[in-house]
Chain A
Amino acid sequence: MTEVRTCLHDVQKHSVHTLVFRSLKRTHDMFVSDQAKAVSRDDVSHKLKMGVKLKTDYSAVLHMPILKEGKDRVSQLPAHLQGHAPYSQQDASRTAASVVDIHRHAGGGDRVHPQSTAVSLHEGGGTRTSALMRRAPTMPKPQWHPPWKLFRVISGHLGWVRSIAVEPGNQWFVTGSADRTIKIWDLASGTLKLSLTGHISTVRGVAVSTRSPYLFSCGEDKQVKCWDLEYNKVIRHYHGHLSAVYDLDLHPTIDVLVTCSRDATARVWDIRTKANVHTLTGHTNTVATVRCQAAEPQVITGSHDSTIRLWDLIAGKTRATLTNHKKSVRTVVLHPRQHGFASGSADNIKQWTFPDGKFIQNLSGHNAIINTLAVNSDGVLVSGADNGTIHMWDWRTGYNFQRIHAAVQPGSLDSESGIFACMFDNSEGRLITAEADKTIKVYKEDESATEESHPVNWKPEILKRKRF
């Protein structure tokens, strides 16, 4: 039974509709497991009753033998007689194999009717009962996460900071900016270690390879560069894009680089030979984001034509197209542990599962153009928007537990707040964001917060989940 909780201090005002529905639900949950269940049969009394009935009504025929085949023929009829009754449908009779057994006691004809209807009610209620018994207790409660707070602001770039990548050894991180430079910063102290120049326009994407000492960067000047970090020089150019390259990602197991561009294609490059292995066409507008993974589907792209495509890397063809978003998809993030991903767009954030891209749920509430998403192993999803706000969500339930809007660097206008990229470091204890006021902000979890100080205020919508 669900216990009734009384709030002593917080009496929230709801509409009559909500109140009625809430009470409906509570009552339903309370009685649903028992409702329409027949009173449990007492074997002794039942045997007694049967015996008396047989003796009084059927004593004349009790001597005759009981034939099996006839019984089956007869038994089929009353089962199908249920077609009259509106309750039981054909699927119900088909799926529940035990229905036939239940109906066997009914003789036939009209006499059976009222009983059969009663039984069908019983049976329907039974199936419903069984189904709902599965569902009622599993209204999920979101996991508590400590809130995040800003603890460092790093300034040094002369233009918007557009992209971030963290080194696999968690010692430093790289940022690419609109001032055409790539800067390498020490993660622990936030000091600048190195500045790389070479791009002639905004650097839109950076990635550090886990398998070799390479740094990859792409920019709005159609260039994709491979930097050797031992010499801090460009060693390779990947030539082929026809327009600004917006994002890039490295395959975790194969030495392959995937870049996506404003020319509506994504290109797959062999790192060593600089050859353009595949050109993934199919999108009709700028491809804004690309992610690679080792399992199928290996490449996921999100585009400004509001579709997400899952690609087959071997054939270079689309496996599935997801058209659920209404506005441009600017970001896609893969969950580090689970086999699923989330995509962010201006209408809402959607969660999907692999390998077919089945839609799981919507995370709505962040009503802004979402530029970036990042996921933690603890299940914290961060969404950063074009207006500078950060929302923190619980991945599993979609509960928004925190909203942050950091102040801009002194000297910047208030309208210059926006987040272009965010990333957790490899220890998942720090969140690094690249912002439009030319700073890099580092956030960490607030250690002093507890469940009591920051309670979970989970108010899901009633009747949100349907049985599909």
Chain B
Amino acid sequence: MSLTSFLPAPTQLSQDQLEAEEKLWAQKTYSTALVASRREPPPYGHRQGFIPRALEDFGDGGAFPEIHLAQFPLEMGRKKKTNNALAVQVDAEGKIKYDAIARQGQGKDKVIFSKYTDLLPKEVMNEDDPALQKPDEETVQELTEKTRSALDKLVSQKIAAAMPVRAADKQAPAQYIRYTPSQQGVAFNSGAKQRVIRMVEMQRDPMEPPRFKINKKIPRGPPSPPAPVMHSPSRKMTVKEQQEWKIPPCISNWKNAKGYTIPLDKRLAADGRGLQTVHINENFAKLAEALYIADRKAREAVEMRAQVEKKMAQKEKEKKEEKLRELAQMARDRRAGFKGHGDKGGEDSEARERDEIRHDRRKERQRDINISRAAPDKRSKLQRDQDRDISELIALGKPNPRASSEGQYDQRLFNQSKGMDSGFAGGEDEMYNVYDQPFRGGRDMASNIYRPSKNIDKDAYADDFENLMNNNRFAPDKEFSGADHSQRREGPVQFEEDPFGLDKFLEQAKQHGGSKRPSTSTRSKDDYHDKKRRKE
């Protein structure tokens, strides 16, 4: 119920309205497309002298027939090389079809998504929305049938070669076609208006081998044009992310094909040594300790055993010694002390002891005489000692010949006037020149045997020291009158053989005092003593 419905229509347009009409007409041609016309050709009737050369001169239209000039609007009609420029096409609404590029090789109803709106998510639809429903049963069945027949045909083609040869299949019955040619006349078709054609399928020989070779290999044709990509390009990779995916080169522990020299820390870098903590089983330590303890215990045990054995041996020895002593005692008693054993008593015990000592000494003397008699070279004891090695002398407890405490120098060190090449003696092996002088031999032993010097403490020997010193009582080579000079005397006491057998006689006298026994007993006793001494 607006105002204009009550008012009459204006008969004439005002100036403003006219201008508006003009503007409107101008705006109609305004569009939002990229391709737009700029210059307009002059209107009809005013085209004298107008020569359209460029594309814009034609405006929206085509060639001008009144201009007698070869014109190529939109470059149509020119003979040019084929270029693959696509003509700009416009769709029903007037908008330019930009996806013509994407649709170049395809049929026009192929589904291609190329707009931005195709990749935006759509409104969530209700479940009953018809767009979401599956197609109904009939359509599906129809489609199934169509597909099945198509696939069956394909399958039969593929397996035709494998199928056995059968009799020629019956051809379909002939078809008759009535045909009315366009060129009519008496001359054509002998005046008849229509023709009847009998269409028959050509017979196919069932035994015929395939007609064409299909084993030729030809290169594949070009693929269908790529579909437009409907996602944003992948994000640029940041340096940090690139670093994360860096893979270090492989340094094998086994192979080195190009023979690179790689420093050791790089060789072991990938081993993962730094990552693992080394776990040593504590049983190793336990084992070591157990071994140590066992070793110690074994040693202790061995030691103890040795000690025990030594003790046992000592005991044994003592026992044996005891036994021997007893036997000796018995023997002595039997030999010397039987007769005066009971009545002599205590005062005679010393005499008996002295007698025993004398007896022992005589025995030893006798032994030596025997030995010297037995030995062919008649070497005396002192002579024997002279030949002994110093270690043996030390072991036997013989006097130490070395008395001087001052340093003993090799005399070859002094009086060095021989020159530089002296001393080595040309590398002679047989010479023994480690020492320049022999160790104190036996010749000096006599002089080194203890002799009380004047420096000895007078306390021990009272004031008669000089008298003692000048006393020649202990001169070693003081001789008896009528002593034998032929024998060289070494040392203070020279034991000599018993030429007269007095010892023997005295011994026998002793023995026979007890009992009348033949020489067997004495001999056996001598032997026994000798044996005993030898043992020691």
Using a CB–CB cutoff of 8 Å, the interface residues on chain A facing chain B are 43, 46-47, 50, 53-54, 58, 61-62, 64-71, 74-75, 77, 80-81, 83, 104-110, 135, 138, 140, 253-254, 256, 268, 270, 273, 275-278, 282, 294-296, 298, 307, 310, 313-314, 318-326, 337-340, 353, 356-362, 379, 396-398, 464-466, 468
Q: Provided the pairs A320-B112, A465-B123 are in contact, do residues A358 and B118 lie with their beta carbons within 8 angstroms?
A: yes
Interface residues of B, count at CB 8 A: 61
| Inter-chain contacts of B17 with A (CB < 8 A) | 74, 77, 108-109
Shortest Cβ distance from B17 into A: residue: A108
Contact (Cβ within 8 A) B16 A50: no
With the chains together, A356 CA to B131 CA distance in Å?
A: 11
With the chains together, A47 CA to B154 CA distance in Å?
A: 78
Contact (Cβ within 8 A) A108 B140: no
Contact bitstring B151-165, A, C-beta under 8 A = 1, else 0: 100110011000000
With the chains together, A338 CA to B135 CA distance in Å?
A: 10
CB distance from A300 to the nearest CB of B (A): 13
| Inter-chain contacts of A47 with B (CB < 8 A) | 1
With the chains together, A224 CA to B226 CA distance in Å?
A: 31
| Inter-chain contacts of A465 with B (CB < 8 A) | 121, 123-124
With the chains together, A185 CA to B4 CA distance in Å?
A: 84
With the chains together, A4 CA to B112 CA distance in Å?
A: 45
For chain B residues 471-508, which have a beta carbon within 8 Å of chain A? none
Shortest Cβ distance from B141 into A: residue: A253
With the chains together, A298 CA to B150 CA distance in Å?
A: 14
Contact (Cβ within 8 A) A108 B16: yes
With the chains together, A107 CA to B3 CA distance in Å?
A: 9
Q: Provided the pairs A294-B143, A339-B133 are in contact, do residues A107 and B4 lie with their beta carbons within 8 angstroms?
A: yes
With the chains together, A436 CA to B228 CA distance in Å?
A: 37
CB distance from B535 to the nearest CB of A (A): 83
Knowing that A275-B159, A465-B123 touch, tell me 10 more A-B residue pairs with CB under 8 angstroms: A47-B1, A61-B8, A74-B9, A108-B17, A296-B135, A320-B110, A326-B231, A359-B230, A361-B122, A397-B124
Contact (Cβ within 8 A) A77 B151: no
- Determine which of B16, B131, B231 lies in contact with A109 in the assembled complex, contact meaning CB atoms within 8 Å: B16
With the chains together, A261 CA to B231 CA distance in Å?
A: 26
Q: Provided the pairs A105-B2, A361-B124 are in contact, do residues A64 and B146 lie with their beta carbons within 8 angstroms?
A: no
Contact bitstring B132-151, A, C-beta under 8 A = 1, else 0: 11110001110110111011
CB distance from A465 to the nearest CB of B (A): 6
Q: Provided the pairs A277-B158, A320-B112, A322-B230 are in contact, do residues A254 and B151 lie with their beta carbons within 8 angstroms?
A: yes
- Determine which of A61, A110, A254, A310 lies in contact with B147 in the assembled complex, contact meaning CB atoms within 8 Å: A254
Contact (Cβ within 8 A) A294 B4: no
With the chains together, A69 CA to B11 CA distance in Å?
A: 11
Shortest Cβ distance from B19 into A: residue: A109
Contact (Cβ within 8 A) A277 B154: yes
With the chains together, A318 CA to B223 CA distance in Å?
A: 11
Quick check: is B262 within 8 A (CB to CB) of the other chain? no
| Inter-chain contacts of B118 with A (CB < 8 A) | 358-359
Contact (Cβ within 8 A) B140 A294: yes
Contact (Cβ within 8 A) A468 B134: no
Shortest Cβ distance from A337 into B: residue: B134
Q: Provided the pairs A358-B122, A361-B121 are in contact, do residues A254 and B144 lie with their beta carbons within 8 angstroms?
A: yes
Shortest Cβ distance from B23 into A: residue: A83
Quick check: is B20 within 8 A (CB to CB) of the other chain? yes
- Determine which of A109, A307, A313, A398 lies in contact with B227 in the assembled complex, contact meaning CB atoms within 8 Å: A307
Shortest Cβ distance from A468 into B: residue: B117
With the chains together, A361 CA to B124 CA distance in Å?
A: 8
Q: Provided the pairs A109-B20, A340-B132 are in contact, do residues A65 and B124 lie with their beta carbons within 8 angstroms?
A: no
| Inter-chain contacts of B134 with A (CB < 8 A) | 295, 337-339
| Inter-chain contacts of B7 with A (CB < 8 A) | 54, 58, 61-62, 66
CB distance from B73 to the nearest CB of A (A): 28
Shortest Cβ distance from B136 into A: residue: A295
CB distance from A453 to the nearest CB of B (A): 26
